[in-house]
Structure 1
Amino acid sequence: MSYFQQESERLLFRKLHLEDIPSWEAFFMNNDRLPFLGLDPRKSPKVLAQEWVEKQLGRYEEFGFGHLAVELKATGDLIGMGGILPRPYQDRMEYEVAYSLKPKYWGNGYGTEIAKTIKQWGMENLETDRLISLIHVENKASAHVARKNGMQVLFELEMMGMPLVVYGVPVSGK
């Protein structure tokens, strides 16, 4: 399955486009979890959305993957993003299963559905012995999703000026 054309029971995953920026601004409004992402709180939602989408487009060019747009199959609404994020760490390249949801879609199991879909793609397509998720030590909701995604705590570290817990899962057969 193509990285840029995945789907799950309720969701479609596709490549991001600059046209997604206005819709993604909603992620940065009334979102009490933004401090867990290491973003500059002085920037406007418009600027943050633009920087976020442009960063993913750069990842596509450099690595062949990054956050994907996640839409509800039923409505076509952009509800969040999810994908594999390459993370150089020490002497190796780690691959993070990452996702973000607009606040109005929290509490419906979409985060877990995104994380499981992305993990499955990574297990089937990446040459690595494990997949990770980097989660702020205070982000209980994301820690819950990581555990539901079969991940366990590996270690803690500081990155991007934040205390993070690294969750991981082995990739069998690698």
Structure 2
Amino acid sequence: MTKIITETERLIIREFTLEDAEDVFMFNSNNEVNRFTGDDCLKSIEDAKKIIREIWLYEYQKYGYARWATELKETGKVIGFTGFKFETRSTVQATDIGYRFLPEYWGQGLATESGLACIEYAKKHMSLEQILGDVVVDNTGSSNVLKKLGFSYHSQYQELDFILNRYELIL
């Protein structure tokens, strides 16, 4: 049984399952989607299953949360992810918010809609005091989403080949 986290007017936000591998492959194999992430594009459905199993399912168990499948109610299709991740990189040891969607769903307010629902869920069901959002400087669309979610600019840093702006939301 798939665990539903929250819902909005247009979306179901739920935990990923291995049955989502094809949809995960679709959005994580797209160069445009991954342009600002620093992640390599997936090469196979097996790569997608590995991410689901070794990252998201593992983090649900370890932290109680991870990125969540974002499904269109109208079609039942997983169009991307929204949600939190406990970051353990050297530049951050905190929970951040992330969202990643297929390009045909950009510009429809879905990142903001799903992000607001996840933040509301966090306020009611998670014991977080702060959420971070890191965005590559050139990714103005994602920066705009964080601002709409109520995040404030915190600082700027470099990681790999990217300069990132860090935003924060105090809960």
TM-score where L is the length of structure 1 = 0.84
Unaligned stretches of 5+ in structure 2? none
Whichever residue aligns with residue 146 of structure 1, its letter is L
- 1:25 is aligned to 25
Contact conserved, 2:129 with 2:170, CA < 8 A, in 1? yes
Aligned partner of residue 32 in structure 2, secondary structure: coil
Give me the whole-angstrom Cα distance separating, in 1, the residues matched to 2:45 and 2:106: 21
Aligned partner of residue 37 in structure 1, secondary structure: coil
Contact conserved, 2:5 with 2:15, CA < 8 A, in 1? yes
- Stretch of structure 1 that moved more, 108-117 or 84-93: 84-93
Q: In structure 2, do the counterparts of structure 1 residues 15 and 151 end up closer, same or farther at CA, with 3 Å as the change threshold?
A: same
- 2:34 is aligned to 34
- 1:85 is aligned to 85
Percent identical: 26
Contact conserved, 2:23 with 2:78, CA < 8 A, in 1? yes
- 1:68 is aligned to 68
Contact conserved, 1:26 with 1:45, CA < 8 A, in 2? no
The CA deviation string for residues 46-97 of structure 1, in whole angstroms up to 9 with x for no partner, is: 4553343231111112111101111111221111111111124779842112
Contact conserved, 1:4 with 1:68, CA < 8 A, in 2? no
The reply to whether residue 53 of structure 1 matches residue 52 of structure 2 is yes
Aligned partner of residue 99 in structure 1, secondary structure: strand
Give me the whole-angstrom Cα distance separating, in 2, the residues matched to 1:17 and 1:160: 31
Whichever residue aligns with residue 117 of structure 2, its letter is T
The reply to whether residue 168 of structure 1 matches residue 133 of structure 2 is no
Cα displacement (A) at 1:170? 1.2
Q: In structure 2, do the counterparts of structure 1 residues 60 and 166 end up closer, same or farther at CA, with 3 Å as the change threshold?
A: same
Contact conserved, 1:84 with 1:122, CA < 8 A, in 2? no
Aligned partner of residue 153 in structure 2, secondary structure: strand
Unaligned stretches of 5+ in structure 1? none
Give me the whole-angstrom Cα distance separating, in 1, the residues matched to 2:64 and 2:50: 18
Residues 133-152 of structure 1 correspond to what in structure 2 (within 5 A)?
A: 133-152=133-152
Q: In structure 2, do the counterparts of structure 1 residues 99 and 85 end up closer, same or farther at CA, with 3 Å as the change threshold?
A: same
Cα displacement (A) at 1:7? 0.7
User: RMSD value over aligned CA atoms?
Assistant: 2.4
TM-score where L is the length of structure 2 = 0.85
How many equivalent pairs are there?
A: 168
Whichever residue aligns with residue 21 of structure 2, its letter is I
